[in-house]
Chains A and B, each alone.
Chain A
């Protein structure tokens, strides 16, 4: 199994930084928090082996855009996290080469999904993964259990992928519908239930995929 992705968080608001870190840890990332732009910049000189950076724009010491410029040589993909939702800074962030721009307050799941997208774009996510007794090969769309291939329909595979990448996080049926099928309307949630049922049966994940009342499903590690 690939080593955990290291995520740099530069956010001066301690509660927000801790909250992001808490979620990232649960989703099998390794978060590193800095609360000061200058401190982060100094620390990066020593150690810049990060897979992704989440930067606040308004930071003490050095603002997010300046820090972003300093970070460019290390080639770390950057997502800006800020309460400044004016178009000007959005454009500045994105034209400057940032991968994404998330406005506070944001949804945790949204942050994770966007991070996932950025990571897969920069090829930092693993091509294969092991979950319990399953080997999942994203490149070849293949799941093997103890060396035996289990045939999954394309939608079932994608559903599995979304659950795996957001493991330990409950995702609503509507969200799953949007993420896997690309539909944004309520009503067809039965489809999700059917596919979840298939996954549980085919992969033996009956206990791992938990149904969370009133919210949705959650794939749990242990």
Chain B
């Protein structure tokens, strides 16, 4: 059930109970008052009749009138509810005047109470055939008993119509309450509805959706918190998506790097197997197969290294003089430097860093390798150490600004065809970045197109 229905239901129930109680109370107070009023009215009538008859009888000669005279007087009153009886000598009942169905015994059997203190009039209530009556009784001066009946059913009828009115009022009040409540609740619950809509949209995956917070109440606070949650989810989702995207890209690049040499190897192999080729072509094909196998081997070695390093987060580091690392790197790079006619200048003043000698040498070699690829023949490469850094500077073609953040990503190559020819797969700098991370180093790149590049490992 919806909240609004439930709230209206509960409120209506409360209102109904309350208004019913009020109605019952009104009815309970009104009824005795009305009865009393009717009683007084009827009593006064009866008293009047009684006194009138007594006065008329007293005027007669003996102060006592015979039955016919009394009958005559009563006929004159022309009230069918007047009854008059007399007790005969032998205690029998003499009916002087009775136009009703009630016999004297019935009237005598009623339970009479005094009507007021002044008169001797007594009265009783009784029900007859669904109607309510009052019976008044008094002794006439002549000794006869006078009864006067009054039909007070109208009081009940009035009470019944009052009950109908009260019920109607209750109904109207209920309807009004319902309508008012509906309008008010609708207004109050509107932000809740908005919150709900917003939440659903977010749940459907539109994480950028925000809920317009308007009210300052609990719903407003909830919306605010919900927005905060949505922001957190959005951020996290985006990060996950980014990392997923990076992974896909990495896999795509890896596949490409694998497929290219595979295509050559499989193509040459098929050629050698199926095609009648010249001796010259045969040698060329075999050379290419060998070359591409070497490329695959280098690629897999670097991949393995990347994976290993990615898992090794805490490596025991030693305090080592940077000179040692530089010397090892120089030895390793001698061949490629010589091939291109480049000179490597080492500048250090016996600096000592906490590092893993093998990994740091690897990183430096990769940096030198990178510098070699960017340099033209006969240029210089400077390998320099400072108080808290190691850097490699070249004076080659430089890296365009927009590519500087990307060069540390695996498989990224500024100039694809050129690095391919020199046997690279774009993993060198990614490896260096990883090694830097293990050494808690920051990698800084300063480069200007056409002037050269400095890549610095900054110890922090």
Please report the C-alpha to C-alpha distance between residue A218 and residue B272 in the assembled complex, in whole angstroms.
Answer: 13
Within 8 Å CB of B416, what residues of A? 12, 58, 60
- Between A20, A35, A105, A220, the greatest number of chain B beta carbons within 10 A of the residue's beta carbon is seen for A105
Within 8 Å CB of A169, what residues of B? 274-275
Question: Is A15 among interface residues, defined by CB-CB distance under 8 A?
Answer: yes
B271-A104 in contact (CB<8A):
no
B417-A12 in contact (CB<8A):
yes
Within 8 Å CB of B255, what residues of A? 83
Within 8 Å CB of A105, what residues of B? 259, 262-263, 266-267
Flag the segment in B191-199, B283-291, B359-367 that touches A.
B283-291
Question: Is A46 among interface residues, defined by CB-CB distance under 8 A?
Answer: no
Within 8 Å CB of B421, what residues of A? 14
Question: Is A91 among interface residues, defined by CB-CB distance under 8 A?
Answer: no
Q: A22-B281, A104-B263, A108-B270 are in contact. Are A170 and B415 (CB under 8 A)?
A: no
Question: Is A19 among interface residues, defined by CB-CB distance under 8 A?
Answer: yes
Question: Is B260 among interface residues, defined by CB-CB distance under 8 A?
Answer: yes
Question: Is B339 among interface residues, defined by CB-CB distance under 8 A?
Answer: no
Please report the C-alpha to C-alpha distance between residue A106 and residue B259 in the assembled complex, in whole angstroms.
Answer: 10
Question: Is B420 among interface residues, defined by CB-CB distance under 8 A?
Answer: yes
A23-B271 in contact (CB<8A):
yes
Interface of B is mostly: helix
Please report the C-alpha to C-alpha distance between residue A65 and residue B284 in the assembled complex, in whole angstroms.
Answer: 31
A19-B256 in contact (CB<8A):
no
Within 8 Å CB of B276, what residues of A? 26, 168, 218, 220
Q: Which of B252-309 contact A (CB under 8 A)?
A: 255-256, 259-264, 266-268, 270-271, 273-277, 281, 284-285, 288, 291-292
Q: Which of A170-191 contact B (CB under 8 A)?
A: 170-171
B284-A104 in contact (CB<8A):
no
Within 8 Å CB of B264, what residues of A? 13, 15-16, 19
By Cβ-Cβ distance, the 3 closest A-B pairs, closest first, are: A170-B274, A15-B264, A105-B263
Chain B residues with CB under 8 Å of chain A are 255-256, 259-264, 266-268, 270-271, 273-277, 281, 284-285, 288, 291-292, 415-417, 420-421
Q: Can you list 22 pairs linking A and B with CB atoms under 8 Å apart?
A: A13-B264, A15-B288, A15-B292, A16-B260, A16-B263, A16-B264, A19-B268, A19-B285, A22-B285, A23-B271, A26-B277, A35-B417, A104-B260, A105-B262, A105-B266, A106-B267, A107-B266, A108-B267, A108-B275, A109-B270, A109-B274, A218-B274
